[in-house]
Structure 1
Amino acid sequence: MFAPPPQEQARLFAKLPEEFCLKGRSSAWLFGKRNKDIGSFLEGPVLEADGSLLVADIPFGRIFRLTMDRKFHCIAEYEGEPNGLALDRNGRLWIADHRKGLLSFNRDTGKIRTELGRLRRQGFMGLNDVQFHSNGTLFFTDQGQTGMHDASGKLYARRPDGRVELLVDTIPSPNGMALSPDERTLYVAVTRANQVWRVPLHEDGSTTKVNIFLQLSGGYTGPDGLATDEAGNVYVCHCGMGCVWVFDEMGWPKRRIDVPDGLDVTAACFGGPDMKTLFILESSRGAVYTVDCPAAGNPTFAQGALEGS
């Protein structure tokens, strides 16, 4: 439908050192993975105020801090499967844990707290990602093992007063999320359908007329993590294709950013001194890549929790 966009290659920024690689250790989360002895699987990058990145290691229950001198520091390790991460304005880290539900981590005390382990006595299928709105609402996806065979994946909204609302319950594998600059649209990666959905956010907190924003193809998995910039461009990490696609707000393809080693490109976020560097995770290899995005601007809205949670 569209001509291929310009293609470029990301550059290696840092790689998880061998001392943190747990090859030989088993994890139930690795069920169905082609390689069950990968030693780590990094996900959910989120930017800290000092420019460092926090990333999760799903199968082994770890959270790392990657400083801009390219060093990894393990700041938490627990019996869980952390996936998506988000910071609130108080610096508390919220965790979408595939096994334990919605958690938070207090950096000062080092304590992991269960915020929502189940909903109305029923457990989740397996949470995947979290995203703050500047009004304090926390969106989270419940993916589990859903897919085209079982379109029962869910999108929830946790309001500032603690109320939890189910927004959509017919998603075949809801994954990463990102907000548009005006925060009136939530983009949701729908991995097994190879799609990105557009979820309108109304003033009363409801959503209607959810539609398909992008229909992708290829790869062995599908779109995973998402990011947006202040111009409204949507950055789609295509797991199984080893690249990040960049589309404008109308869905026109603008760029294709390839990772030189590995296909498990799962997540990305903006950072750097001017917020114009895209940090990209290749999860299976524990690697972080970067690419310059000079037209990206400062996507402060993407850190909505830092401003208004």
Structure 2
Amino acid sequence: MALDRIRVQWERHDERFAPVRGDRFASVLYDDGAWLEGPAWSPAWRTVLFSDIPNDRVLSWDEATGAVGVWRSPGGYANGRTVDRAGRMLQCEHGSRSVTRTEPDGTVTVLADRWAGKRFNSPNDLVEHSDGSVWFTDPTYGIQSDYEGFAAESETAGSHVYRRDPDGAVTRVADDFAGPNGLAFSADERTLYVSDTERAHLRRFDVAPDGTLSGGEVLATCDAGAWDGVRLDTAGRIWGAAADGLHVLDPDGTLLGKLLLPETCSNLAFGGAKRNVLFVTATHLLLSIRVTATGLR
């Protein structure tokens, strides 16, 4: 059962936002986190997994019962995650400075923990390509202190974006970020969007068939803090978590509208049977908001 509801203020900035509607109140599914992150919907389990990073645990919310339980503790100071096309859970872990995959039997496989022999900083968020490659960001948030991981020095001379191919090869695909964070592909996978939280930018890259990136222009600048996690819907709109709630942008970068919330939002995921329920991590809260938009997987 939801614990409570909080008001969602819908704010239209462009007439193209008119078709997007939804709940006027967000359901509070959980309210006892320190800094929640990385919601991911599992259709098979009908659950949302999400991270309580400072408390080093991964929690699960069950759709059938409304119960929240501990999925893994200690949780590797995990941050972002996604469910791959085989239904396995992929996640970024600050503690082990790696990207891992949880197999159906519960065993954990390390997909990547180094590039060119150097340990990653603290992988933050990730997305799977249809060719089986896993793309992820690697800022330094998990090694800056002991709050979200373990304080350590960076070995990679900066914060970058990487691609891990199905054969295990890891390639650095972008190296000019200050704080790469959330990322998402367009429906045709020809475009990759990446938020640069330190600069409050959302950047757009062209993706070549061989997986190389070009372009990288700044598509938009956040007007409320900075964008963290980002997701796309089937209409190509970009949904970004920000300090004042969720921002919705057109693919051309225009701010279409906002879903204003009282807490800083870190991330979001579309889920539910119709993929029209937004699961949002907002500081200490896990929220759900049903909308008229349908999320990409």
TM-aligned CA distance change 1:60 to 1:209, over 3 Å: same
Supply the AA of the counterpart residue of 1:56. S
Aligned equivalents of 1:61 and 1:227: distance in 2?
A: 25
Query: For residue 64 of structure 1, what is the aligned residue in structure 2?
Result: 59
Supply the AA of the counterpart residue of 2:280. I
Structure 1 residue 10 displacement after superposition: 4.6
Whether the 8 Å contact between 2:112 and 2:168 is mirrored in structure 1 is no
Farther-moved stretch of structure 1 (181-190 vs 44-53): 44-53
Whether the 8 Å contact between 2:191 and 2:204 is mirrored in structure 1 is yes
Aligned with residue 203 of structure 1, among 188, 209, 212: 209
Whether the 8 Å contact between 1:96 and 1:103 is mirrored in structure 2 is yes
Query: For residue 8 of structure 2, what is the aligned residue in structure 1?
Result: none
Query: For residue 106 of structure 1, what is the aligned residue in structure 2?
Result: 103
Supply the AA of the counterpart residue of 2:288. T
Q: Does residue 234 of the first structure (1) align with residue 230 of the second (2)?
A: no
Q: Does residue 75 of the first structure (1) align with residue 71 of the second (2)?
A: yes
Aligned equivalents of 2:55 and 2:114: distance in 1?
A: 22
Whether the 8 Å contact between 1:83 and 1:98 is mirrored in structure 2 is yes
Query: For residue 288 of structure 1, what is the aligned residue in structure 2?
Result: 286
* Secondary structure of residue in 1 paired with 2:79: strand
Aligned equivalents of 1:10 and 1:267: distance in 2?
A: 18
The answer for unaligned runs of 5 or more in structure 1 is 22-38, 304-309
Aligned with residue 48 of structure 1, among 25, 31, 42: 42
Whether the 8 Å contact between 1:99 and 1:127 is mirrored in structure 2 is no
Aligned equivalents of 2:77 and 2:211: distance in 1?
A: 29
Query: For residue 151 of structure 2, what is the aligned residue in structure 1?
Result: none
Alignment of 1:214-233 (within 5 A): 214-219=220-225, 222-233=226-237
Structure 1 residue 258 displacement after superposition: 1.3
Structure 1 residue 233 displacement after superposition: 0.3
Aligned equivalents of 2:25 and 2:177: distance in 1?
A: 31
- TM-superposition CA deviations, 1:132-176 (whole Å, max 9, x none): 0111110010111499xxx93200011111111110011010001
Structure 1 residue 107 displacement after superposition: 4.8
Query: For residue 34 of structure 1, what is the aligned residue in structure 2?
Result: none
Alignment of 1:261-280 (within 5 A): 261-262=262-263, 264-280=264-280
Aligned equivalents of 1:80 and 1:48: distance in 2?
A: 20
TM-aligned CA distance change 1:168 to 1:138, over 3 Å: same
The answer for unaligned runs of 5 or more in structure 2 is 1-11, 145-156
TM-score using structure 1 length: 0.78
Query: For residue 154 of structure 2, what is the aligned residue in structure 1?
Result: none
Instruction: Give me the identity figure in percent.
Output: 26
Structure 1 residue 236 displacement after superposition: 0.8
* Secondary structure of residue in 2 paired with 1:230: coil
Aligned equivalents of 1:153 and 1:163: distance in 2?
A: 19
Whether the 8 Å contact between 1:154 and 1:170 is mirrored in structure 2 is yes
- TM-superposition CA deviations, 1:224-274 (whole Å, max 9, x none): 010100100000101xx2310101111222221012x32x20111111232
Structure 1 residue 190 displacement after superposition: 0.7
Supply the AA of the counterpart residue of 1:158. R
List structure 1 segments (4+ residues) > 4 angstroms apart after TM superposition.
Answer: 5-10
Whether the 8 Å contact between 1:9 and 1:258 is mirrored in structure 2 is no
Structure 1 residue 215 displacement after superposition: 1.2
Q: How many residues align?
A: 265
- TM-superposition CA deviations, 1:45-86 (whole Å, max 9, x none): 111014321112222321111112322121111262100112
* Secondary structure of residue in 1 paired with 2:176: strand
Query: For residue 171 of structure 2, what is the aligned residue in structure 1?
Result: 165
Supply the AA of the counterpart residue of 1:55. F
Aligned with residue 179 of structure 1, among 162, 185, 189: 185
Root mean square deviation, CA, Å: 2.5
Structure 1 residue 130 displacement after superposition: 1.0
Supply the AA of the counterpart residue of 1:236. G
Whether the 8 Å contact between 1:42 and 1:57 is mirrored in structure 2 is yes
Query: For residue 24 of structure 1, what is the aligned residue in structure 2?
Result: none
Supply the AA of the counterpart residue of 2:206. P
